[in-house]
Amino acid sequence: MASTNLMYSRLGGSDVSFQGMIERFGVVTVMNVDVYDTSKFNLTDTTDQEHAAWIGLQADEIGKQIIAADSTAKICHLDTLKISNMSQEGPTKTVTGGQYSNPLIKFGKSARLEMQDALGNAAALDALTGTVSESKASGTFGPDYSTDASKGVWALHVTEDFNGPKTLIGDTFFIDQKSGQQVKAKILIYQFLPDSIFNLTQDAEGDATVFDMNGDLLTTDILVSTKEGNAAGKAVVHGVFYSIIDPKALVSE
């Protein structure tokens, strides 16, 4: 029920668009992350209409497809991260030549995502650090068994297992430099291959332990429109690590 004694304040709704913010912005906080099982999406099978190959889709179409598969592909939600850093290194190859052996061509980049969670989360640890949760209940785990008491997880096993690729959608905000306002943004990480390493630090006098969930970002081919191609209704295939997207583009009409 709406309040009947509302007056007014200096606050107003944000009138800064994503397009305006992205021209000059600051990054001040981490993202909340939804983790999805990439194997649920048949990236190489163009005959599967439900989960079409991402090579034939643009970023917004891929994001909508992932969100639509929430009930079958979503593994867990992370909302207690301390850091979520994405970095690149390169080149992996350099062609040199000439009298001074100057660099002529640079090729190849690698990308990493480093996340630290302030709290342990069995579903996330299983998906990203190679642990195995064991339950006394019969049947299989659901996408987010950590919230279902009937599943009865009684042991978290630290194993030699490695995990396959995961797809991440981050929810965060950037700061528009001109207005100082927060502007929402989505970060779509197409394929994240976890290191699958679990470390447990116990220190009575130091800081509380954090849970590292690091890994590599895999290059994924998607469609990206160009100035010339957009006029002709076409786009080009290009390899990307991740995309920063206007959240409004991921809302199904």
The terminus-to-terminus CA distance of the chain in angstroms comes to 28
**Tens digit of pLDDT at every position of the chain (253 positions):** 555 676 766 655 566 899 999 999 999 999 999 999 998 886 655 555 444 467 788 999 999 999 988 878 899 999 999 999 999 999 999 999 999 999 999 999 999 999 999 999 889 999 999 999 887 765 555 444 444 544 677 889 999 999 999 999 999 999 999 999 999 999 999 999 999 999 999 888 888 899 999 999 999 988 998 877 655 667 888 999 999 999 999 987 6
Q: What is the pLDDT of residue 157?
A: 93
- Rounded CA-CA distance 36/48 in Å is 18
- Could you count the other beta carbons within 10 Å of the beta carbon of residue 74? 20
Quote the pTM value.
0.86
Q: What is the pLDDT of residue 226?
A: 82
Contacts of 14 (CB under 8 A, 6+ apart): 181, 182, 183
- Rounded CA-CA distance 13/7 in Å is 15
Q: What is the pLDDT of residue 147?
A: 46
Q: What is the pLDDT of residue 146?
A: 44
pLDDT tens for residues 39-65?
A: 888 665 555 544 446 778 899 999 999
H helical segments located in the chain: 18-21, 59-68, 70-73, 122-128, 227-231
Q: What is the pLDDT of residue 151?
A: 60
pLDDT tens for residues 236-248?
A: 889 999 999 999 9
Q: What is the pLDDT of residue 142?
A: 47
- 186 close to 245: Cβ distance less than 8 angstroms: yes
Closest listed residue to residue 116, CA positions, set 105, 125, 107, 106 = 125
